[in-house]
């Protein structure tokens, strides 16, 4: 056997040791997907649910994308008692937009949050402000982000599911609205970093350390939120939704994360650069996760998502230019299997996107080519803590520790 063949066999053996255990973990996580709950569907309003929900929408300079959110919320049924837009003193006309909408919707109310206290991030502070000002008789609090497009029947569906399944908290994954080819290429790869790490949603999440949530649409029982002191547990978190939900689950709450693609759309970021910069720096979830778990997840993502495609290609080349060895064949097969799983997941997540809008939609099918970049983005985000977020600058001393 040549020196080259021996060297390649050694490298292949190392790859097998480094990847095979995590490939087994990935298969186990994704294999549970066939048991995941069905997507929520629009539900009609019911008289017994009259005025049970208060909605809180935190805003800061959201004029360019707030209108679809307001229109969607104003179309919700009579289970909604009030819609509080808590604005952090926007300078782009956000407040004026809400004030104009108030003339058409008596449930809509504009509030302004006080100056940001030390140790708080803007979004949880706005939610805390809204929580303290909602009507005392509301039984549920629904946090909604300004970049969402609520569909008719959203709130009724959330409330019906939470009551039927005796949940204390439920959040939804949306249908994503993408408009540029760069988004269609990169965003699915970033989304897969979440699915690979946390697997398919379960009926009720029981392992707090691995729970995923989406604060863009999060319904929580008021009594449960009061017992937690509102959003204080997530005051300094840049992933306040996951921090809040994991704390609630650790305290005994019944929480669920469901497919909301039929009742909720979201237009998160404008273009490739903003998707990379803004979404990418919060996907590590380090403010809700122990450091060892954060870096374990980084290693996991490189092993099963970031490296398989290039390693598979290199393995095929090596098999054609040198004498095949069993380690090289096994390593190539393993990475080929991981590439095949990735293409299968591309098909699986396709319904999570709005295929009626945007240019360059065909680039979605090439998103596996962005997997190494997605793994790199999570690595960089895990290493660095944001100092700017949604137009605010945060001193280092206010940033939470891992």
Tokens of 4: 């080259």
Give the lowest-confidence range in 161-170, 272-281, 302-311, 363-372: 272-281
What pLDDT sits at residue 27?
A: 94
What pairs with residue 373 in β-bridges? none
Q: What pLDDT shows up at residue 196?
A: 95
pLDDT at residue 397 tops 60: no
pLDDT digits (tens, 9 = 90+) for 356-381: 989 999 999 999 999 999 999 999 99
Q: Structure tokens of 128?
A: 């805390």
Tell me what pLDDT residue 33 has: 74
Q: How far apart are CA 402 and CA 396, in angstroms?
A: 13
Query: pLDDT, tens digit, for every residue of 319-360?
Result: 998 888 999 999 999 999 999 999 999 999 999 999 998 999
- Give residue-wise pLDDT tens across range 294-311: 999 999 999 999 999 999
Give residue for tokens 């994991």: 246
* Long-range contacts of residues 193-196, Cβ cutoff 8 Å, at least 24 apart: 193/283, 193/301, 193/305, 193/374, 193/375, 193/378, 194/283, 195/30, 195/345, 195/349, 196/26, 196/29, 196/30, 196/300, 196/301, 196/304, 196/305
Neighbours of 214 (CB within 10 A): 21
Decide if 191 contacts 261 (C-beta within 8 A).
Answer: no
- Residues 42-51 have a mean pLDDT of 95
Angstrom distance (rounded) from CA 57 to CA 63: 13
Cα–Cα distances (Å) from 341 to 157, 294, 315, in that order, read: 32, 23, 17
Structure tokens given for 251: 């305290």
Dihedral sign computed on CA atoms, order 197, 199, 203, 206: negative
Backbone angles phi, psi at 98, to 5 degrees: -65, -40
Query: For the segment 110-148, what is each residue's pLDDT rounded down to a tens digit?
Result: 999 999 999 899 999 999 999 999 999 999 999 999 999
82: helix, coil or strand?
Answer: strand
What's the Cα-to-Cα distance from 159 to each of 149, 203, 360, rounded to whole Å? 18, 15, 37
CB atoms within 10 A of CB 43: 20
DSSP, collapsed to helix, strand or coil, labels residue 45 as coil
pLDDT in tens, 202-227: 767 777 888 889 999 999 999 999 99
Average pLDDT, stretch 246-267?
95
Per-residue confidence (pLDDT) for residue 255, from 0 to 100: 95
391 alpha carbon, distance to own chain's centre: 20
Can you say how many angstroms the Cα of residue 318 is from the centroid of all Cα atoms in its chain? 39
Q: How are the residues of the chain apportioned to helix, strand and coil, as percentages rounded to the nearest 5?
A: 55, 15, 35
Q: What pLDDT shows up at residue 286?
A: 86
Residue 384: the pLDDT is 76
Is the pLDDT at 21 greater than 70? The verdict is yes
Whether 168 has a pLDDT exceeding 50, the answer reads: yes
pLDDT value at 201 more than 80: no
Q: What is the pLDDT of residue 208?
A: 81
Closest Cα to residue 366, out of 188, 126, 104, 164?
188
The model carries a pTM of 0.91
pLDDT at 78: 94
Strand-pairing partners, residue 388, are 393
Average pLDDT value for residue range 169-188: 96
The CA–CA distances, whole Å, from 268 to 87, 174, 243, 252 equal 18, 11, 20, 32
């Amino acid at each position: 056997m040549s020196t080259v063949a021996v060297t390649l066999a050694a490298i292949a053996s190392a790859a097998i040791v480094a990847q095979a255990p995590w490939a087994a973990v990935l298969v186990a996580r994704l294999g549970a997907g066939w048991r995941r709950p069905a997507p929520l569907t629009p539900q009609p309003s019911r008289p017994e649910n009259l005025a049970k929900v208060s909605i809180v929408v935190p805003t800061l300079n959201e004029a360019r994308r707030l209108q679809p959110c307001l229109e969607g919320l104003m179309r919700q049924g009579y289970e909604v008692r009030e819609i509080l837009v808590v604005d952090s003193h926007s300078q782009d006309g956000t407040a004026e937009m809400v004030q104009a909408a108030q003339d058409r919707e008596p449930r809509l109310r504009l509030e302004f949050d006080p100056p940001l206290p030390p140790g708080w991030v803007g979004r949880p502070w706005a939610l805390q402000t809204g929580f303290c000002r909602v009507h005392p008789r509301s039984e549920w609090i629904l946090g909604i982000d300004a970049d969402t497009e609520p569909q008719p029947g959203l709130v009724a569906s959330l409330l019906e599911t939470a009551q039927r399944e005796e949940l204390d908290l439920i959040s939804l994954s949306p249908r994503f609205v993408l408009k540029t080819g760069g988004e269609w290429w990169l965003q699915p790869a970033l989304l897969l970093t979440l699915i690979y790490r946390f697997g398919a949603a379960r009926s009720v999440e029981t392992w707090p350390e691995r729970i995923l949530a989406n604060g863009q649409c999060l319904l929580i029982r008021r009594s449960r939120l009061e017992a937690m002191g509102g959003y204080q547990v997530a005051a300094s978190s840049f992933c306040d939704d996951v921090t809040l939900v994991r704390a609630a689950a650790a305290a005994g709450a019944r929480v669920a994360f469901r497919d909301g693609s039929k009742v909720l759309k979201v237009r998160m970021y404008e273009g490739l650069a903003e998707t990379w910069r803004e979404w990418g720096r919060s996907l590590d979830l380090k403010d809700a996760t122990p450091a060892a778990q954060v870096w374990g997840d980084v290693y996991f993502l490189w092993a099963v998502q970031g490296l398989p495609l290039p390693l598979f290609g290199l393995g095929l080349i090596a098999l054609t230019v040198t004498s095949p060895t069993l380690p090289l064949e096994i390593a190539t097969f393993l990475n080929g299997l991981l590439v095949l799983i990735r293409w299968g997941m591309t098909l699986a997540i396709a319904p999570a996107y709005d295929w009626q809008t945007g240019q360059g939609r065909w680039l979605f099918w090439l998103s596996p080519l962005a997997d190494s970049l997605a793994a790199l983005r999570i690595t960089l985000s895990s290493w660095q803590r944001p100092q700017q977020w949604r137009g605010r600058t945060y001193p280092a001393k206010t940033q939470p520790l891992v």
